[in-house]
Amino acid sequence: MTTAVRQRRRSAATRGRPRAKDAAIRAFRSWQLYVLLAPAVVFILVFKYWPMYGAQIAFRNYNPALGFTGSPWVGLDHFVRFVQSFQFGRLLENTLTINALGLLIAFPIPIVLALIVNQLSSPRFKKFTQTVLYAPNFISVVVVVGMIFLLFSPRAGVVNNVIALFGGEPVFFMGDPDWFRPLYIGSDIWQNAGFSMIVYLAALTAIDPSLHEAARVDGANKWQRIWHIDIPGIMPVITILFILAIGNLFNLGFEKVLLMQTDLNLPTSEVIQTYVYKAGLQQAQFSYSAAIGLFNSAINLVLLTTFNWVAKRAGQSTLW
C-alpha cells in the first residue's frame, strides 16, 4: 500500500470522526491548561452567573419567608411602578448627566496626559511624573470625600479662605446642588486620570520606534508625530475603552455619591444606585429595588451592544 493511499484513508477517517471526539482528544492533551483555567471558570460561575437566579425577585413580590419560588409572581409591575414614579425623571437625569459629563470631560484627559508624559526626555523626571499622577488612585474613596469636605468647608476650608481673602463671600459647596456635579467630576478626574493614563502609556510603548525615526528624517515635528503616529497607534485601545465606558454610562460610583450626599444637594446627587440602596436596604423593598437595578443593567447592555456595533461598522476595534 502506497503512502498516498494511507494518507487518504487517514484523512477520510479523520473527517468521519465526530467533532466532539476531536475536541475531547485536544482537551485531554492540554489538560494542564484546563486545570489552570478551572478556578477562574468556577469563580465566574459561582459569583457571576449563579446570583442571576435571584434576579427573579424583580418579577415577584418577594417575601423572605416564602423564598424565591414561593413569592407571588407580579410580572413587570415593579418596572412600571418605577417608570411611572415622580422620581424617575430626576434619577435618570442626574445619573445620565453626571456620567455623560464625566465621559466627555474625563475620558480625553488620560489620553492627553499619556501623550505628554510620553514626550518627556528625562527618564527620571518621567517616572516621577507618572508616580505623582497615578498616586491619588491608591487613596481610599472615603479619604477623598473627607478631603473634599475639609477643603470646601464654609468655615475652615482652604478654598473659602482664599475666596474670603479676595473679598468674596464663603460658599457652602457641599450644600449647593449646583456644585455637586463639578466637585464629583473634578475629584474623580484627580483620583483616576493618572491611573488610566498607564494603559495608554503601555499602548504607546508598543508603537514601532522606527516610525518616529522615519518621521524625524522627513522633518516632522513633535506635534505632527503625535497626530500621525501616536494617536493612530493607540486608537484601538481608545476605542475599546470608550465602548466599555459607554457600557457603564448608567453606572456611577455608588460609594462616593452616597458619601458626598447631603440633605441640601439631593436634587442633583440622588442617582439610580443610591436610590436602589435606600429603597432596597433602608426601606426593605427588595423586589422594587431589584427591578430598578435590572432596568439599569438592561440599559447598559443595550448601550454596550449598540456602540460595539457602531464601532464595527466604522471599521474600528471592537469587543467582539
Q: Is the dihedral of CA 23, 25, 26, 30 positive or negative?
A: positive
Instruction: Over range 206-213, report the average pLDDT.
Output: 88
Q: What is the pLDDT of residue 43?
A: 94
Instruction: Over range 223-231, report the average pLDDT.
Output: 90
List pLDDT tens digits, range 149-159.
Answer: 999 988 888 99
Do 191 and 106 meet the contact criterion of CB atoms below 8 Å apart?
no
User: What value, to the nearest 5°, has the Cα angle with vertex 231 and ends 226 and 235?
Assistant: 170
Q: Among 42-46, 187-191, 304-308, where is mean pLDDT lowest?
A: 304-308
Residues 6+ positions from 302 with CB-CB distance below 8 Å: none
Q: Among 2-11, 142-151, 229-238, 305-314, where is mean pLDDT lowest?
A: 2-11
Instruction: Over range 211-229, report the average pLDDT.
Output: 88
Residues 6+ positions from 240 with CB-CB distance below 8 Å: 317, 318, 319
- Tell me how far the alpha carbon of residue 194 is from its chain's centroid: 15
Q: What is the pLDDT of residue 187?
A: 92
Instruction: Over range 132-145, report the average pLDDT.
Output: 91
Of 302, 72, 309, 269, the closest CA to residue 176 belongs to: 269
Q: Is the per-residue pLDDT at 196 higher than 70? A: yes
Confidence label for 310 from pLDDT (cuts 50, 70 and 90): confident
List pLDDT tens digits, range 34-55.
Answer: 889 899 999 999 988 888 888 8
Q: Is the per-residue pLDDT at 17 higher than 70? A: no
Q: Is the per-residue pLDDT at 14 higher than 80? A: no
Amino acid at site 206: A
Confidence label for 10 from pLDDT (cuts 50, 70 and 90): low
pLDDT: is 4 or 89 the higher one?
Answer: 89
Do 123 and 258 meet the contact criterion of CB atoms below 8 Å apart?
no
Instruction: Over range 140-151, report the average pLDDT.
Output: 92
pTM value is 0.82
Q: Is the per-residue pLDDT at 4 higher than 60? A: no
Q: What is the pLDDT of residue 75?
A: 87
List pLDDT tens digits, range 91-108.
Answer: 999 999 998 888 899 899
Per DSSP, 168 falls in state P
Confidence label for 16 from pLDDT (cuts 50, 70 and 90): very low
Q: Is the per-residue pLDDT at 8 higher than 90? A: no
Of 227, 237, 225, 244, the closest CA to residue 200 belongs to: 237
